[in-house]
Structure 1
Amino acid sequence: MNEASVFHDGERTIQALAGETTIADRNIAMLSDTVIGGARPFIARQFMAVLASTDAAGAVWASVIFGKPGFLHTDDRHAIAIDLPHKERDLADPLWENMAAIADVGMLFIELGSRRRYRVNGTVRRLDGCGAEVAIREAYPNCPKYIQRRHLRQLGEPRLPVQAAHGTVLRGGAANIVARADTIFLASRHERTGADASHRGGQPGFVKLVDDTTLRIPDYRGNSLFNTLGNIEADGRAGIAILDFENGQVLQLTGSATVLWNQDDPHGETGGTRRYWEFKVASWILRDLPHALQWEYLDASPFNPVAA
């Protein structure tokens, strides 16, 4: 692959505005259309994955799925299998209907305890009662920055169906989950390259509630590829998933996002980039997780900016 064919106009625009085009051209060498050898066992031992998908109306969603290690695997390095039978799926999550409607998906395999992550973007080529299979278009590792370490101590059996609430404004329990968050997962999409799933982390409270439909998130220094912000620049539709680690819930938000440049940052919230992005909520789903999970918090990322 060459960088001219990989980066779309949105990514190129953001790279140029950030002054990081040269770095992006160098870092794109890690991109592949197959899973690298060392990532195959990494994927197979995961119990959690983040997926980005798009519903029939065009709204973008971030989802978090769980299963016993081995439910995610790649046998030929060209596709990812998700072995999650129909009876174990949380159908309150829009993911499964979305994959049937629009085949593009983004996948993030993230091991919070080791701060390792691996991204795969592709196309659903099988979706049936046994699970799904995603043909890989892009695969690459991510740096370990901004991940708060947590260790999963117990993964219970599925308890379905789950309770779910819906809304359009963030108040009460939904607002509290946002205010406490130190980890969020972000879904975005581009017409040519499809859906993408990514991670953002920081000190608790790094996601600010501007009002009851608007979030403001600092954008720290990363790998300079700007896949997510590039998608936002080109499209604007986005989704966010926030795990409530203590209470066993997940908040899924869908809406639109905008990148903000050269913002006042007197307290150093952005780590020097002076760059934020704002997310406007169109609707949300607050669900109990289908599995009883017990997490042990270990420590915060040493790279998190600490506001003065």
Structure 2
Amino acid sequence: MSDKNGFHSGELAVQKCAGEAAIAARNISVLTDTVIAGARPFIAKQSMVVLSSIDRSGAVWASVLFGASGFLHTDTGATISIDVPLKERDPNDPLWTNIGHHTDLGMLFLELSSRRRYRVNGNVQRLDADGVEVQIREAYPNCPKYIQRRQLRKLGETRLPVSSACGTLLGGTAETIVRQADTLFVASRYADTGADASHRGGTPGFIQVVDESTLRIPDYVGNSLFNTLGNFSVDPRAGLCVIDFEHGQLLQLTGKAKVLWDQQGTADATGGTMRVWEFKVDAWILRDTPQELEWEYFDASPFNPSEKL
């Protein structure tokens, strides 16, 4: 059930708790059911897309795909094509199995070097040997806050198979990647509106490792729509993906998220919101990126709180 602005019950509840319902009602004006003309060239130039998908059991996963500029494109704004041929798909990435039986797909087009991002949710209407075509349900731009600027300097050819590992408890390399991360991608879902992909960022260490199965993430001031937290409040199943920019690895985690309000002593670490959310890890996959990637780091977001949880 959605209100007149298109918000579902979970989003409305979180907006009310945060005292930001009026701001959300104003900001939702950017929402459209197609990709606006000005955003289409932006999508076509990107070499990276973050995707949110749902597996057969209902678990949510976040994935990141890389490709040469042009592998993502939308001609009319009604659909988006992701051109990844069958031979270049990593079978260790849950994405490919997930969209074969569950059509909901969240997409986040993010240009780290300019801090621009555009968010699209939709349904897979074609999956074949050439790639994927997604029918767009909703699309909107996001603010540039908390994005660390990086430039992808080299994108190598796809090499398969790649090394991978999996587990249920965090430790070793997987834990190290989380502790050092300054960039996090989040997948969530709501049954009536589908899957959603989003971004979180902060100074290295902003993700707190509470124990071998629990992470704690600060929730900074955003656009007040609370799409991700609203989804969590209705369906706690979620996915995370962390890029190890230095070593060319992707850590994907699936589990359940819970929002914690009014956490005393966290004002500086949360940018004043005193909101955090905990993520309970059910399973993780650590794998090399199929392409050799070389990144150049520019600078951190000026909006990042300096304190950590």
Q: Same fold (TM over 0.5)?
A: yes
Tell me the alpha carbon deviations over residues 225-257 of structure 1, each in whole angstroms, 9 at most, x when there is no partner: 000000000100000000000000000000000
- Secondary structure of 1:206's partner? coil
Tell me the alpha carbon deviations over residues 191-215 of structure 1, each in whole angstroms, 9 at most, x when there is no partner: 1110000000000000000000000
Residues 49 and 110 of structure 2 are in contact (CA less than 8 Å); yes or no, is this contact kept in structure 1? yes
Equivalent positions of 1:111-260 (< 5 A) are 111-260=111-260
1:178 partner letter: V
Cα separation, partners in 2 of 1:78 and 1:245, compared to 1, 3 Å: same
Residues 188 and 239 of structure 2 are in contact (CA less than 8 Å); yes or no, is this contact kept in structure 1? yes
Residues 267 and 307 of structure 1 are in contact (CA less than 8 Å); yes or no, is this contact kept in structure 2? no
Runs ≥4 residues deviating over 3 A: none
CA distance in 2, matches of 1:236, 1:291: 32
The count of aligned residue pairs is: 307
CA distance in 1, matches of 2:4, 2:211: 40
CA distance in 2, matches of 1:18, 1:307: 21
Residue number in structure 2 paired with 1:298: 298
1:234 partner letter: V
- Secondary structure of 1:292's partner? strand
Residues 267 and 274 of structure 2 are in contact (CA less than 8 Å); yes or no, is this contact kept in structure 1? no
Residues 13 and 230 of structure 1 are in contact (CA less than 8 Å); yes or no, is this contact kept in structure 2? yes
2:63 partner letter: S
CA distance in 1, matches of 2:5, 2:161: 44
Residues 164 and 288 of structure 2 are in contact (CA less than 8 Å); yes or no, is this contact kept in structure 1? yes
Residue number in structure 1 paired with 2:98: 98
- Secondary structure of 1:96's partner? helix
Residue number in structure 1 paired with 2:83: 83
1:219 partner letter: D
- Secondary structure of 1:157's partner? strand
Question: Offset of 1:266 from its aligned partner?
Answer: 4.9
Residues 117 and 141 of structure 1 are in contact (CA less than 8 Å); yes or no, is this contact kept in structure 2? yes
CA distance in 1, matches of 2:83, 2:245: 24
1:72 aligns with 2:64: no
Give the CA RMSD over aligned residues.
1.0
Percent sequence identity over aligned pairs: 65
Question: Offset of 1:135 from its aligned partner?
Answer: 0.3
Tell me the alpha carbon deviations over residues 98-131 of structure 1, each in whole angstroms, 9 at most, x when there is no partner: 0011100100000000000000000000000000
For structure 2, list consecutive stretches of 5 or more residues without a partner in the other structure: none
Residues 267 and 273 of structure 2 are in contact (CA less than 8 Å); yes or no, is this contact kept in structure 1? no
- Secondary structure of 2:279's partner? strand
Residue number in structure 2 paired with 1:288: 288
2:165 partner letter: A
Question: Offset of 1:265 from its aligned partner?
Answer: 2.4
CA distance in 2, matches of 1:264, 1:162: 44
Residues 108 and 117 of structure 1 are in contact (CA less than 8 Å); yes or no, is this contact kept in structure 2? yes
2:9 partner letter: D
Cα separation, partners in 2 of 1:141 and 1:3, compared to 1, 3 Å: farther
CA distance in 1, matches of 2:267, 2:139: 36
With normalisation by structure 2, the TM-score equals 0.98
Residues 48 and 64 of structure 1 are in contact (CA less than 8 Å); yes or no, is this contact kept in structure 2? yes
Residues 44 and 72 of structure 1 are in contact (CA less than 8 Å); yes or no, is this contact kept in structure 2? yes
CA distance in 2, matches of 1:262, 1:152: 38
For structure 1, list consecutive stretches of 5 or more residues without a partner in the other structure: none
CA distance in 2, matches of 1:168, 1:92: 16
Residues 5 and 25 of structure 2 are in contact (CA less than 8 Å); yes or no, is this contact kept in structure 1? no
- Secondary structure of 1:6's partner? coil
Residue number in structure 1 paired with 2:265: 265
- Secondary structure of 2:206's partner? coil
Residues 3 and 25 of structure 1 are in contact (CA less than 8 Å); yes or no, is this contact kept in structure 2? no
Question: Offset of 1:91 from its aligned partner?
Answer: 1.3
Question: Offset of 1:264 from its aligned partner?
Answer: 1.6
